[in-house]
Amino acid sequence: MASSSSSLSGYFPIRSQKADSLSVVNDEANGFPTLMDYVGKGGLNVGDDLVVLLSHLQYACKRIAALVASPFNSSLAKHMGGSAAGGSAESGRDVAKPLDIVSNEIILSSLRSSGKVAIMASEEDDSPIWINDDGPFVVVTDPLDGSRNIDASIPTGTIFGVYNRLVELDHLADKEKALLNSLQSGSRLVAAGYVLYSSATILCASFGSGTHAFTLDHSTGDFVVTHPNIKIPPRGQIYSVNDARYFDWPEGLRKYIDTVRQGKGKNPKKYSARYICSLVADFHRTLLYGGVAMNPRDHLRLVYEANPLSFLAEQAGGKGSNGKSRILSIQPVQVHQRLPLFLGSSEDMEELESYGDVQQKVNPGYEV
C-alpha cells in the first residue's frame, strides 16, 4: 500500500514537533501545565523513555485530529487509489475505512520515529508488527475507534495501551515474540489512554497513578492539564447501551435495565439512557458523570479496547468487566479476541453483575 500519510500532508497542515516544544511555556505561564510538563521530572516523573514515547503518540493524535476535522475526508478513498481494506475472517478484523488506514499509518510512523517501541499491535493489522530490537515498549492500539460515524461528524477516538517488552522472549523469531508480547494481560499495562476527537480534542491517560485528562489548546498546539486525578463517581444515573437490541438480551440484563430506569434499583433515582455508539465518547462521559457504558455481546476487542479502557476506569476508581470477570485479569489468547464489555462506576458495576446473566449470546448479525 502506498504511504498515504506522507502523501496527504498537503491536505492536512499540522504543527511540527519543534513548534510543539517551543510553545510549552505559554500554557504553563497561564497556570495550565502541558502534558509533557505534567508527566516529566517536575510532575509524575514517569521516566524518560515513556515521556519520549508519549511525546510521539500525542503528536500522532494531533495529526489524526486534523485529519478527522478536515473537509477533505470524503476524497480520501480516491486519493489513496482504492477502497477500504478488508478484514479477514481468520484475523477477526473489521473492514477498514480509508481514515482507519491513514490513522494507523500515522501512529506507526510516530512509534517508529520514537525509537522506544519494539512492537505495535493494531486493530487495523492482521498481526503485530516488529519495529525495533531495542525498543523497551509494546504499544497496542485502535487507531480510530468509531470511524463509521465520521460522515455524520459524531465523536471518534484513538485508544492505546503500553506494556514493557518481555526481554525473556528476545531469543524467539520476530513474528513469534511480537505476538506473545502483544498478548500480555491488562494487569501488566504500564500506561493506557485515549484521545477523544469531538468539540474539544482530549487526551486522557494513566501511568498507574490516577487518571488524568489534557485538552488540546489550538492556540499553542499543546495538550494542557484540564482534569487532573479524575475520580469516577461511585454511582451515576446514566446507562449507555444500544437498547434497540433489548429483545436479544439475556433475562438478567433486561431485568437490570428495567429496574434502574424505573428507579427501583439500589439507587432510587430513575436512570437516563445516553448512547453515542462511539466507544471513546460513551466511556469519556461515563468517566466524568458516572453510570455504566456497555456492549453486552462479543464485539469489542480485549487487547485494543477493553484492556486500556478498563485500566483507565480502575485508576479512576471504577471497574471494567465482561459481566462476570475483571477485564484486566483475563489472559488474551488472540490479538483480535472479542468479548462483552461493561465499564463504569464501582457501585453500578457491582449491581449490574449481581444480576448474573448479562452477556448477550444471541447475535443475528446486525447491519448497523
Q: Which of 27, 125, 145, 222 is catalytic?
A: 145
Distances, alpha carbon 168 to alpha carbons 164, 242, 303, 338, in Å: 11, 43, 21, 27
Q: Which of 20, 37, 217, 305 is catalytic?
A: 305
- 133 flagged as catalytic: no
272: which DSSP letter? Answer: E
Write the DSSP string, 69-114: H-TTGGGHHHHTTS-PBPPPTTTTPPPBPHHHHHHHHHHHHHHHHH
Coarse DSSP helix, strand, coil percentages of the chain, rounded to the nearest 5 percent: 40, 20, 40
Q: Which of 123, 125, 217, 222 is catalytic?
A: 123
Write the DSSP string, 138-194: EEEEEEEETGGGGGGT--EEEEEEEEE--GGGTTS-HHHHHHHHHT--GGG-SEEEE
Using CA atoms, how far apart are residues 281 and 275, in angstroms rounded to an integer? 9
Q: Which of 144, 189, 216, 343 is catalytic?
A: 144
What residues contact residue 318 under an 8 Å CB cut-off, 6+ apart? Answer: 232, 286, 287, 343, 344, 345, 346, 349
- 27 flagged as catalytic: no
Q: Which of 142, 222, 348, 351 is catalytic?
A: 142
Q: Which of 100, 105, 222, 353 is catalytic?
A: 100
- 105 flagged as catalytic: no
Nearest to 57 by CA among 108, 98, 126: 108
Q: Which of 27, 37, 124, 125 is catalytic?
A: 124
What residues contact residue 248 under an 8 Å CB cut-off, 6+ apart? Answer: 360, 362, 363, 364
- Report the length, in residues, of the chain: 368
Burial of residue 167 (CB within 10 Å: 0-12, 13-18, 19+) is exposed
H or E segment at 348?
helix 346-353
Cβ pair 263, 270 in contact under 8 A:
yes
- 251 flagged as catalytic: no
- 305 flagged as catalytic: yes
**Location of C-alpha cell 448479525:** 365
270: which DSSP letter? Answer: P
- 123 flagged as catalytic: yes
- 353 flagged as catalytic: no
**Main-chain phi, psi angles of 191, to 5 degrees:** -160, 155
Number of Cβ within a 10 Å radius of residue 70: 16
- 145 flagged as catalytic: yes
Residues designated as active site = 94, 100, 123-124, 142, 144-145, 305
